[in-house]
Amino acid sequence: PKFPWRGLLLDCCRHFFDKEKVKQYIDLLAYYKMNTLHWHLTEDHGWRIAIDQYPKLTTIGAWRKGEDGQPYGGFYTKADIRALVAYAAERHINIVPEIELPGHSQAAIAAYPHLSCTGEAVEVGTEWGVFKDVYCAGNERTFQFLEAVLLEVMALFPSPYIHIGGDECPKYRWEHCSKCQRRIDDEGLQDAHELQRYFIRRINAFLQKHHRRLIGWDEILEGGLTDSSVVVQSWRGMDGALQAAHQGQCAIASPTSHAYFDYQLDAIDLEKVYQFSPIPVGYSGDLKYILGGECNMWTERVPTDSVLDQRVFPRLLAMSEVLWTAPVVRDYPQFNNLYKNQTPTLAAKKNEK
């Protein structure tokens, strides 16, 4: 393959997909020669991974009020996760867990309100969007919590990389929180934006101590995080990948323009994915910094297994082709014929779960 990182992000938080579905996707990824399952496990809308030290993450944080008023959700036990990690490894798929911080954390805060700036009770998120309640950056208990969670996560996942999110963290609570303001003063920071840098750096130091590399969404660049072990996942276009590679950091490309498989086919069709290149336009540096790409399968509007299948396939085949062959002159009609030959295979696999 041209690129060593060929991934699918599967958001199991906005909607929950059971372990059999995840296993089927591991099979499909392997079949189409992808090698990374980026498993989005924590969100405002649900916490999906059992953590022994914090049981309310799954007794409370895994369940939200569903559209019919009944609890909606689910989670993976440690036994489920160990089995899936082993199953994936046998198929040469690395599972990268994503534990979102400091934003996208409302489900954890619903379970443990002391983790937020206000300490007030909140519900696991039910509306789609970005939420203002985030982990308090001024409270040491936040870091105790996150380190304990990450230790349990690292014990389950041998992945050299741990994804910590880092995207879309509103600063409103931090600007109005005395603990966060004290942290800003104590650390000599300018404002709440620099507090995010402090937060990510601290988590990075913890992961490094445990010999893991941090991956974050491109927002992590805003604080000037230039550590060469950090990997940047570019989603707001390709600028994050370009900046990271220029400063000697590895990048994974999954821009909204080509790699957001939650978008409908009329926005990103098969040909558009096929035309993608994970190499940013204008980049002439060492290609070793461009690890590859991912298809990002967010699931706000993907309530069922069959909608998931419709969104991922056949576009995943185009991404696989891109990551095996780019950059080359592309022949879409030829690819289209190749993929049509796969239709019976895909139809058969659909029922294998």
Q: Quick one: what does residue 189 bind among ligand ACM, Zn ion, none, with the CB cut-off 5 to 8 Å set by partner type?
A: none
Q: Quick one: what does residue 138 bind among ligand ACM, Zn ion, none, with the CB cut-off 5 to 8 Å set by partner type?
A: Zn ion
CB atoms within 10 A of CB 64: 21
The reply on whether position 217 binds ligand ACM by CB under 6 A is yes
The reply on whether position 261 binds ligand ACM by CB under 6 A is no
The reply on whether position 168 binds ligand ACM by CB under 6 A is yes
Distances (CA, A) of 11 to 131, 151, 249: 17, 22, 25
Q: Which is nearer to Zn ion, 84 or 136 (CB)?
A: 136
Type of residue found at 256:
T
Give the separation between CA 274 and CA 291, rounded to whole angstroms: 18
Q: Shortest gap between Cβ of 104 and ligand ACM (angstroms)?
A: 8
Q: Shortest gap between Cβ of 87 and ligand ACM (angstroms)?
A: 27
- Our CA angle for 56, 59, 61, nearest 5°, is 70
Q: Which is nearer to ligand ACM, 219 or 309 (CB)?
A: 219
Q: Quick one: what does residue 168 bind among Zn ion, ligand ACM, none, with the CB cut-off 5 to 8 Å set by partner type?
A: ligand ACM
The reply on whether position 222 binds ligand ACM by CB under 6 A is no
Q: Which is nearer to ligand ACM, 167 or 305 (CB)?
A: 167
Give the separation between CA 172 and CA 51, rounded to whole angstroms: 29
Helix 78-90 × helix 19-31 angle, to 10°: 10
Tell me the helix, strand and coil percentages in the chain, rounded to 5. Answer: 40, 15, 40
Residue with tokens 């805060």: 109
Q: Is 141 left (phi over 0), alpha (psi -120 to 50) or beta?
A: alpha
Q: Which is nearer to Zn ion, 46 or 138 (CB)?
A: 138
Q: Which is nearer to ligand ACM, 27 or 168 (CB)?
A: 168
Q: Tell me the HSE value of 276 on the side-chain side, using a 13 A CA sphere.
A: 31
Q: Which is nearer to ligand ACM, 198 or 217 (CB)?
A: 217
Q: Shortest gap between Cβ of 180 and Zn ion (angstroms)?
A: 3
Q: Quick one: what does residue 187 bind among Zn ion, ligand ACM, none, with the CB cut-off 5 to 8 Å set by partner type?
A: none
Q: Which is nearer to ligand ACM, 50 or 302 (CB)?
A: 302
Among candidate residues 47, 72, 237, the one with its CA nearest the CA of residue 152: 47
Q: Quick one: what does residue 217 bind among Zn ion, ligand ACM, none, with the CB cut-off 5 to 8 Å set by partner type?
A: ligand ACM
Instruction: Return all residues near 319 (Cβ < 8 A) that are at least 6 apart.
Output: 6, 34, 259, 273, 276, 293, 294, 295
Give the separation between CA 195 and CA 143, rounded to whole angstroms: 14
Q: Shortest gap between Cβ of 237 and Zn ion (angstroms)?
A: 31
- Restricted to residues 295-324, the positions that interact with ligand ACM (CB under 6 A) are none
Type of residue found at 35:
N
Residues that bind Zn ion (CB under 5 A): 117, 136, 138, 177, 179-180
Among 235, 261, 274, 313, binds ligand ACM (CB under 6 A): 235
The reply on whether position 167 binds ligand ACM by CB under 6 A is yes
Q: Which is nearer to ligand ACM, 86 or 267 (CB)?
A: 267
Q: Quick one: what does residue 238 bind among Zn ion, ligand ACM, none, with the CB cut-off 5 to 8 Å set by partner type?
A: none
Q: Assess whether the previous peptide bond of 333 is cis (omega < 30° from 0).
A: no
* Binding residues for ligand ACM (CB under 6 A): 167-168, 217, 235
